[in-house]
């Protein structure tokens, strides 16, 4: 692949930071400032096709300058994305080519297991390995830690869960192990959950600004404003991302649902009816497990709510696509009409 780039006068680089119109990329000669070529911007139909932090890119490094011009995005092996806020319905990419996604939740009163389930759906659908980090362990007592660990483990079957503190170093050796072999990791979570503090600890210096949480509700202040990749001593890279108070799932999250709710999906396989909705049907294994206390009612409610949300999003996207095709047909008809008039004039 590198030989093909050289033949075209292009160089493989990796995007390390996104500042909106300008990016930072890592090259063999160091870090460069980069921007997309005019042709690439013209040919790009969707924002998701533009470069994202973690992408490998085909770029032209300008001679005598520490600038690069991006001509293409190479195939992604993983893509972490969500539905962008507002309308129209569009995808927002958080990071790409990530091996492990650390889902960070602070061990305080803002800990929300239902929110973690949504992050797990995003992680499984992205093609990454999710790992949950319960941060700020130094700020809570042992009983709260054990209760949180139990609740989170039940909501995330098969997912590693670590209690960590960047202040005392507790659990950080285990986290550092995920970077072995030069692997790429990323952090995701709400504002104030400790992502930037964890980044500083793992990077071995103060590379990100931090701020304290609000004392009245234990919620964090929005500190990180852009996505950026940092080298980790000993190998590997870490992508820090801005906090997300609300995570709206992106379409096509079926794989993510199966991963995040694997316990319910397994129970559903024992239901009498294949299309069981787990409400009032006879022989529903899911409802029986809830009545027997084997399945938390809140988890089942979250499962149903997420199913409805994804179904609504799919219908909305199909409607938007149909409208786009209709508009496209109209434009084609207008072009055909202009072409016919031209031919008629020529005759």
Report the binding-site residues for GTP: 135-138, 189-197
How far apart are alpha carbons 194 and 183 in whole angstroms? 21
Largest CA distance in the chain: 88
How far is it, in rounded angstroms, from Cα 321 to Cα 337? 24
Distance CA(247)–CA(122), nearest Å, equals 9
- Residues at the annotated binding site for Zn(2+)? 271, 276, 278, 284
Feature table: binding site: 135-138, 189-197, 271, 276, 278, 284
């Amino acid at each position: 692949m590198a030989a093909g780039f050289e033949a075209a006068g292009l160089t493989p680089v990796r995007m390390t930071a996104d500042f909106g119109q300008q990016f930072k990329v890592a090259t063999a000669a160091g870090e460069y400032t980069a921007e997309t070529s005019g042709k690439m911007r013209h040919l790009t139909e969707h924002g998701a096709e533009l470069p994202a932090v973690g992408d490998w890119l085909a770029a032209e490094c300008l001679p005598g300058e520490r600038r690069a011009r991006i001509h293409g995005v190479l195939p992604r092996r993983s893509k972490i994305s969500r539905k962008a806020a507002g309308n129209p319905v569009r995808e927002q990419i958080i990071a790409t080519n990530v091996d492990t996604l650390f889902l960070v939740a602070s061990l305080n009163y803002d800990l929300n297991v239902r929110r973690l389930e949504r992050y797990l759906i995003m992680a499984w659908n992205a093609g990454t390995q999710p790992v949950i980090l319960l941060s700020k362990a130094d700020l809570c007592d042992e009983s709260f830690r054990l209760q949180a660990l139990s609740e989170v483990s039940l909501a995330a079957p098969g997912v590693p869960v670590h209690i960590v503190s960047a202040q005392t170093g507790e659990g950080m050796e285990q986290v550092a192990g995920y970077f072995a072999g030069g692997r790429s990791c990323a952090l995701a979570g709400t504002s104030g959950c400790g992502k930037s503090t964890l980044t500083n600890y793992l990077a071995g210096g103060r590379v990100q600004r931090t701020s304290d949480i609000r004392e009245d509700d234990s919620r964090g202040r929005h500190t990180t404003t852009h996505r950026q990749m940092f080298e980790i001593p000993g190998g590997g890279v870490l992508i820090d991302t801005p906090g997300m108070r609300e995570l709206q799932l992106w379409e096509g999250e079926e794989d993510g649902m199966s991963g995040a709710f694997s316990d319910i999906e397994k129970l559903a396989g024992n239901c009498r009816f294949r299309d069981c909705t787990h409400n009032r049907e006879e022989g529903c294994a899911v409802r029986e497990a809830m009545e027997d206390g084997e399945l938390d009612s809140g988890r089942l409610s979250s499962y149903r709510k997420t199913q409805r949300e994804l179904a609504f999003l799919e219908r909305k996207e199909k409607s938007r696509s149909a409208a786009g095709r209709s508009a496209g047909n109209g434009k084609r008809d207008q072009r055909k009409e202009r072409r016919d008039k031209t031919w008629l004039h020529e005759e």
